Amino acid sequence: MEFKNDLPEGITDWVAKTGKGEITRLERHVARREAWVVDVTAKDGSVLQGFLRLERERQPRNPWSLAKETKIIEALGKTSVPVPAIYGRSDKLGCTLFERVRGRSDLDRITYERQQRAVMEHFMEIVGEMHNLDLGELGLDRYMAYKPTTPAEAALGEVDLILRQWKDFLKMYRDPLITFGVQWLRNYVPKTIARVSLVQGDTGPVNFMFDADRVSAVIDFEWGHYGDPMEDLGNICVREFWNPSGGLKGLFKLYEQSSGIPYDRDATMYYRVQQNVRGMIPIHAVTVMAHPREPVAWFLAYRYIGDRATCEALSEAMDIPIDKPEMPAEDVAIDPLAEAARYALGNDVAPNVSGAFAQSRANDVNVLIDCMDRRRRYAATLAEIERDELSTLLGRKPKSAADGLRKLDVAIRKGTLDDASTLRYLTRRAYRDEWLYAPAVTLYPQRNWSPID
């Protein structure tokens, strides 16, 4: 059976051989990282239901490689932590065939609150079990970039990895919020750590599967590493922000009771910021360089909602009040080229597109058209607002918004500005950027932090 696809040569043959049959289903999965849903049917009629992950461009010494992720899941498969089975791994082709686990991942779409709560409570118990695993017995040391021995090493290990991995990009791209966030993380490292654990590094709703009111598998260990268990609690805050799943009230106390690991609210607040700052660096890179294979519309949502969320998390952690600025008046002028593109896409292209991935990409195109149109209408007005506000912060009006942001970045690095005034400005700017990219933001509407106790 032939399927239209653009998979690298040799992968479909490997999948068929690994599954001991013929590929009878092959569909691109809608996800941030490339994945394919695949069925392999054997001669006896049995069907292997697989989930294929691959890395098209493998980087040497990549600390977040699919190979490392596969090893982590393989090790966890021997423990009480539920994870997908691994049907096969090819280092030559850079791909892994996982079990397609029963259930679903979209807990945020469940309207029955008692089910949401039951799933999250079960998940917290599983996270506690994972954090209590003996690292020596897991046998993962050789696959990890580091093994922290101090609170600072645990808090900054992944941050430093990100900075090294993206150093070339960060040489030419200076964003004052990223600079401020990294400096804050270095200045406010948690003073204690209960233990060093295997952490998922990006854990919470969407990164586990559930069936009824139980977790069927924890998935996506791309960011898995050794660290502070409180890092995963901060990660859960972030993932629940993006995928609201009934709130967090009482969940971390439940984690403490079931795991025996003390819950540290201040450290959790720290790691809430840490997850956002380290996550925003590659997201900024994707939106700046805009690789056509990437779902850029979604990354624009991650970037501008994420920047605002980072500012809010910093505000709460630093106990600095922030305010939302007034936005410019809406410009209703129509761009005939943008309208023509929208019409062709909505009436001639999208209705004739089949398949969830292709439909998602068609919607992405529409979002990008809308974002370009809004930048045409409002970018100049917002640039003048930035110049005015930066003049107050810097003491002198910059030649342009871009020039002012460069000067602000330098001032943050030198430590010559008041943190509260800087954060308030960065927050107002983040709110304005989120407003400017409203078409992308609608992909994740009304995202707000859930209170933690």
Q: What is the CATH number of the domain that holds 270?
A: 3.90.1200.10
Tens-of-pLDDT digits for all 453 residues of the chain?
Answer: 667 788 999 999 999 999 999 999 999 998 778 999 999 999 999 999 999 999 998 877 889 999 999 999 999 999 999 999 999 999 999 999 999 999 999 999 999 999 999 999 999 999 999 999 999 999 999 999 999 999 999 999 999 999 999 999 999 999 999 999 999 999 999 999 999 999 999 999 999 999 999 999 999 999 999 999 999 999 999 999 999 999 999 999 999 999 999 999 999 999 999 999 999 999 999 999 987 778 899 999 999 999 999 999 999 999 999 999 999 998 878 888 889 999 888 888 889 888 888 888 888 999 999 999 999 999 999 999 999 999 999 999 999 999 999 999 999 999 999 999 999 999 999 999 999 999 999 999 999 999 999
Domain CATH number, residue 44: 3.30.200.20
343 domain-assigned: yes
Tell whether 116 and 235 lie within a shared domain: yes
Tell whether 95 and 130 lie within a shared domain: no
Report whether 34 contacts 5 (CB < 8 A): no
Tell whether 85 and 111 lie within a shared domain: no
**Tokens (6 digits) for 15:** 């999948």
Tell whether 321 and 377 lie within a shared domain: yes
Tell whether 132 and 249 lie within a shared domain: yes
Q: Following DSSP, what letter does each residue of 96-130 receive, concatenated? A: EEEE--SSBS-GGG---HHHHHHHHHHHHHHHHHH
Q: Following DSSP, what letter does each residue of 138-175 receive, concatenated? A: HT-GGGSS----SHHHHHHHHHHHHHHHTHHHHHH---
225 domain-assigned: yes
450 domain-assigned: no
The pLDDT assigned to 61 comes to 81
309 domain-assigned: no
The pLDDT assigned to 358 comes to 86
Report whether 317 contacts 269 (CB < 8 A): yes
Tell whether 428 and 361 lie within a shared domain: yes
Tell whether 334 and 246 lie within a shared domain: no
Alpha carbon separation from 407 to 167, 387, 425 (Å, rounded): 20, 11, 14
Give the angle 305-308-311 at the CA atoms, nearest 5°.
Answer: 150
* Last residue in a domain, options 58, 73, 99: 99
The pLDDT assigned to 32 comes to 77
Tell whether 91 and 115 lie within a shared domain: no
Helix (H) or strand (E) holding 374: helix 356-394
* Last residue in a domain, options 283, 306, 337: 283
310 domain-assigned: no
Query: CA 203, 204, 206, 207 torsion: positive or negative?
Result: positive
Tell whether 59 and 195 lie within a shared domain: no
In this prediction the pTM is: 0.93
71 domain-assigned: yes
Tell whether 128 and 277 lie within a shared domain: yes
The pLDDT assigned to 28 comes to 92
Residue 82 is part of which domain span? 11-99
CA dihedral 126, 130, 131, 133 (to 10 degrees): 140
Tell whether 112 and 228 lie within a shared domain: yes
Question: Which is nearest to 195 in space by CA: 160, 158, 220, 232?
Answer: 232
* Last residue in a domain, options 259, 283, 307: 283
Cβ atoms within 10 Å of 77's Cβ, excluding its own: 14
Tell whether 143 and 205 lie within a shared domain: yes
Helix (H) or strand (E) holding 187: helix 176-187
User: If you count them, how many residues does the chain have?
Assistant: 453
351 domain-assigned: yes
Number of structural domains in the chain: 3
305 domain-assigned: no
